[in-house]
Structure 1
Amino acid sequence: MNITYFEKFWKYKGLLIELVLRDIKIKYRRSVLGYIWSVLNPLLMMAVIATIFSYMFRFDISNYPIYLLTGQLIYNFFSEATNFAMTSIIYSGSLIKKVYLPKYIFPLARTLSSFTNLLFSLVAILLMLIFTRTPVTPVILLFPLPLLYALFFSIGIGMIISVIAVYFRDMLHLYGVFLTALMYLTPIFYPISVLPKFAVSIVEMNPLYHIIEMFRDIVLYGKFPTVQDNLICFSYGALTMIVGLIVFKKKQDNFVLYL
């Protein structure tokens, strides 16, 4: 990751933008409502899950719809971004074999296209804040912080698993199992207080837990994130992204042998 590495990134930034725009257009192609689905989808899922869990469980959570929605958006972004990044090299194999391109452009583009969809989805939270008449404080202006931490973390994981998927195709199936387990290990639709002590320790090792909690504190509770909160989330995001880039750079030259 020297200066030349970043010079190449800057040189191909136009291609990166085109790939991101292509992914977004493909996602909503032939859809009547188009980009509105970025708002409708999380709202509809939130409504269904909130209704079910309101009857099945009695969680002591004020403003449960927004509590649920804030967790959903972060987790769904991570799930979609890393899933797309994982297959990006495999699906771009024919192009990689024909033309020289920085290969990290492909998982990065898939992650950024998912991040763009996440930004569209924030309108759903805005609508729910208005609908539920939730008090909004100036702290809400800090909402980009946890989103950036989630982006860094997703880029890192996406890079790592895109490499693994090239060499070990079973990863395409195993990762779905991992995401299901991760969903239940992340307090999306339940409060961490309902878990036994040993389970709390496990959940607290989950980077998404800390990112989601920061997002909720800012948007729902109007709490200013502490220095410790930022250090934890930044460390997870930055370290994962650095490791991902190093792993990717080390293995990328051999991709053509396995595509």
Structure 2
Amino acid sequence: MTTLTQPIFIRQTAKLVQASLRTRYRGTWSGFLWVILLPIFTFGAQSYAFHYILKMDVEHYPLFLLTGLLPWIFISQSLDMSATSLLNNAKMLKSFPISPYAIVLSQITDNFINYLAAFIVLIIPIKLWLDWPLGHLIYMIVPLISLFIFVTSASFLLSAINVLYRDTKFILSFFLSIAFFMTPIFYPVDFIPPNMRWVADYNVFYSIIRPIQILSTQFSMDDYWQANLKSYLTSITLAVFTIYYWRKKRNAIFFIF
């Protein structure tokens, strides 16, 4: 069995991502458009509903929504797809010498590329519409790394748990549907009553999304780095726990394959 440190694992991951992208985009633009239509339509519908109908009083609301909604879509889609990735590819894992790690990581990487593509497509008209400095994009790099670590760790953890407990997929879907409304994505955290603010403070999804979302406002560097510190504490803690869980359950997981 290959490990995360072996070159073959990296090559397998790259090949799987490459194959997925080629299958989706080969010979047509429809594959690319299909991938970004969901976040674009979701963003457009929510932006219209909350900004123009419900009169959400937030400066640069479309940008605020974009920087919260797209990371959420990446998180939720990656977790949902990765949770069943090992079981869905069980036949391939039994038939070919391929690392289970490559299966999970290739799914996350593929989704991350799609997420970045959708973000780029949407940020261009927003820049033309709003007076927002593109220089803020450089600050995206730090929170995006934490976002990727968090999603990768959570995906590996859920894929392992789902192998041992097959109901994980259904519990996850229910949990994500609730978490969407409990996470300040389409509304600012200031809208939450002070006595309920602890819900956001202990929300791991908000901890990861907040450093990205803060870039849509007139932010201070102190707020930016404090948000990133909390984000990295969350993602690294989850990464450590995921590594521990995989090592503890490794034999039980690989026995199934």
**What is the TM-score normalised by the length of structure 1?**
0.87
- Of 3, 9, 13, 1:12 maps to 9
2: distance between equivalents of 1:29 and 1:243?
39
Q: In the superposition, relative to structure 1, how do residues 108 and 127 fare at CA in structure 2: closer, same or farther (>3 Å)?
A: same
Alpha-carbon offset, residue 39 of structure 1: 4.1
What amino acid is aligned across from residue 152 of structure 1 in structure 2? I
What amino acid is aligned across from residue 239 of structure 2 in structure 1? M
1:126 matched residue in structure 2: 123
**What is the TM-score normalised by the length of structure 2?**
0.88
Q: In the superposition, relative to structure 1, how do residues 215 and 115 fare at CA in structure 2: closer, same or farther (>3 Å)?
A: same
2: distance between equivalents of 1:223 and 1:129?
22
- Of 252, 255, 258, 2:253 maps to 255
Alignment of 1:137-216 (within 5 A): 138-216=135-213
C-alpha RMSD over aligned residues = 2.4
Counterpart contact for 1:160–1:244, Cα < 8 Å: yes
2: distance between equivalents of 1:28 and 1:176?
28
2: distance between equivalents of 1:227 and 1:32?
39
What amino acid is aligned across from residue 71 of structure 2 in structure 1? I
Counterpart contact for 2:127–2:134, Cα < 8 Å: no
Alignment of 1:23-34 (within 5 A): 23-27=20-24, 33-34=30-31
1:241 aligns with 2:249: no
Point out where structure 1 has 5 or more consecutive residues left out of the alignment: none
1:45 aligns with 2:42: yes
Point out where structure 2 has 5 or more consecutive residues left out of the alignment: none
Structure 1 moving runs of 4+ over 6 Å: none
1:179-225 deviation line (CA, Å, top 9, x unaligned)? 11111111111121222223311112112213322112225546435
2: distance between equivalents of 1:184 and 1:144?
26
2: distance between equivalents of 1:206 and 1:27?
34
1: distance between equivalents of 2:118 and 2:53?
27
Give the 3-state SS of the residue equivalent to 1:190 in structure 2: coil
Counterpart contact for 1:97–1:256, Cα < 8 Å: no
1:70 matched residue in structure 2: 67
2: distance between equivalents of 1:128 and 1:191?
23
Identity rate, percent: 22
Q: In the superposition, relative to structure 1, how do residues 58 and 34 fare at CA in structure 2: closer, same or farther (>3 Å)?
A: same
Alpha-carbon offset, residue 55 of structure 1: 4.8
What amino acid is aligned across from residue 124 of structure 2 in structure 1? L
2: distance between equivalents of 1:145 and 1:205?
21
1:81 matched residue in structure 2: 78
Q: In the superposition, relative to structure 1, how do residues 183 and 24 fare at CA in structure 2: closer, same or farther (>3 Å)?
A: farther
2: distance between equivalents of 1:236 and 1:173?
24
1: distance between equivalents of 2:30 and 2:156?
32
Alpha-carbon offset, residue 121 of structure 1: 1.4
Give the 3-state SS of the residue equivalent to 2:197 in structure 1: helix
1:2-49 deviation line (CA, Å, top 9, x unaligned)? xx94432x2321111011123334455797522134444323221211
Aligned pairs, how many?
A: 255
